[in-house]
């Protein structure tokens, strides 16, 4: 079975900033797609903000096993309808990997339900990334710690719910620390947040980072059939109750009414 990954990128800095364009001439999404396509059993394609429906039509999401998301300057340009569609796809079983500044993306915030805020500083600091869960599949093949020579600092407190598992913690040259690799389950979907990836540094060219992304796609893939109509909230008729019952008491709703939502 081939895992179908889609790397979504707002693709704004690559067009507007010459440092980013020089580091990522085919876009951040292009470098990540190349890394994932070098993985046995993974087929990666890309989608960007500028495409119709941001490249994420309902049909495309139905054929996406794992969606990776990179966004920063244009979070607010993502349509609410597409963001809701992504969250629903996750609830129904699609894997979702939020990269770096995607902590403030609409789909990630919807899936977390919290502020997702953090402290930050752009000073090219050294980042040392420590494994905190050695046997976790997302950490497979990695040393106990590895270093990125230049990264943006993200610091605690990180305003997200307590994760299922913390896979990485980062230390920064200036002294802050951050939970850099967090796993969640949302509905039937596996979700991973991975911190590194500031656009003015060559982070996504780093072999250890590419290793994490490959592992994360394999981990996030849920091979079960996607749950259909995941937001349905049916009104079950009295005569369809598993045990025989008679209606009692006074009622607000009429038989067969859809109810409020």
Positions in the binding site for Zn ion (CB under 5 A): 101, 152, 198
| Nearest-approach distance from CB 198 to Zn ion, in angstroms | 4
Question: CB of residue 152 vs Zn ion: minimum separation in angstroms?
Answer: 4
Question: What backbone phi and psi angles, to 5 degrees, belong to 176?
Answer: -75, 160
CB atoms within 10 A of CB 178: 22
Q: Tell me whether residue 178 or residue 219 sits nearer to Zn ion (CB atom).
A: 178
Whether 133 and 179 have beta carbons less than 8 Å apart is answered as: no
Report in angstroms the alpha-carbon separations of 249 from 61, 95, 233, 252, 256.
Answer: 45, 44, 23, 10, 17
Residue nearest to Zn ion (CB): 198
Of 15 and 231, the one with the shorter C-beta distance to Zn ion is 15
Quote the least distance from Cβ 150 to Zn ion, whole Å.
12
75 or 198: whose CB is closer to Zn ion?
A: 198
Q: Least separation, in Å, of the C-beta of 99 and Zn ion?
A: 10
Q: Edge-to-edge strands of the sheet including 66-70?
A: 42-48, 3-9, 66-70, 95-99, 189-194, 177-186, 165-172, 119-131, 145-155
DSSP state, residue 43:
E
- Token duo for residue 6: 């889609």
CA distance 22 to 123: 19
Cα distance from N-terminal residue to C-terminal residue, the chain: 38
Six-digit token pair at 63? 């054929």
Distance of closest approach, residue 201 Cβ to Zn ion, in angstroms? 9
As measured in angstroms, the least distance from the Cβ of 147 to Zn ion is 18
d(CA 37, CA 40): 8
Nearer to Zn ion, 91 or 120 (CB): 120
Contact criterion met (CB below 8 Å) for 100 and 197: yes
Nearer residue to Zn ion within complex by CB, 43 or 150: 150
Nearer to Zn ion (CB atom), residue 85 or residue 198: 198
Considering the complex, state which of residue 99 and residue 139 has its C-beta at the smaller distance from Zn ion: 99
How many Cα neighbours within 13 Å face the side chain of 235?
11
**Shortest distance in whole angstroms from residue 116 CB to Zn ion:** 14
């Amino acid at each position: 079975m081939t895992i179908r990954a889609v790397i979504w990128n707002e693709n704004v800095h690559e067009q507007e900033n010459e440092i980013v364009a020089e580091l990522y001439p085919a876009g951040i999404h292009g470098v990540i797609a190349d890394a994932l396509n070098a993985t046995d059993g993974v087929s990666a394609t890309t989608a960007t903000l500028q495409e119709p429906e941001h490249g994420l039509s309902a049909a495309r999401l139905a054929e996406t096993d794992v969606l990776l998301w990179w966004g920063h300057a244009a979070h607010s340009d993502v349509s609410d309808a597409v963001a809701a569609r992504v969250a629903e796809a996750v609830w129904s079983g699609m894997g979702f990997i939020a990269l770096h500044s995607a902590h403030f993306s609409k789909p990630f915030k919807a899936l977390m339900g919290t502020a997702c805020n953090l402290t930050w500083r752009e000073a090219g600091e050294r980042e040392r990334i420590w494994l905190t869960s050695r046997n976790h599949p997302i950490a497979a093949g990695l040393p106990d710690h590895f270093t990125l020579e230049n990264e943006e600092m993200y610091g605690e407190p990180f305003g997200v719910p307590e994760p299922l598992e913390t896979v990485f913690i980062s230390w920064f040259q200036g002294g802050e620390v951050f939970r850099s690799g967090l796993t969640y389950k949302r509905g039937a979907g596996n979700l991973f947040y991975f911190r590194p990836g500031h656009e003015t540094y060559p982070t996504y060219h780093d072999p250890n980072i590419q290793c994490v992304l490959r592992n994360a796609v394999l981990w996030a893939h849920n091979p079960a059939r996607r749950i259909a109509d995941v937001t349905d909230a049916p009104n079950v008729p009295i005569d369809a109750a598993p045990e025989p019952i008679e209606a009692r008491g006074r009622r607000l709703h009429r038989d067969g009414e859809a109810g409020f939502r």
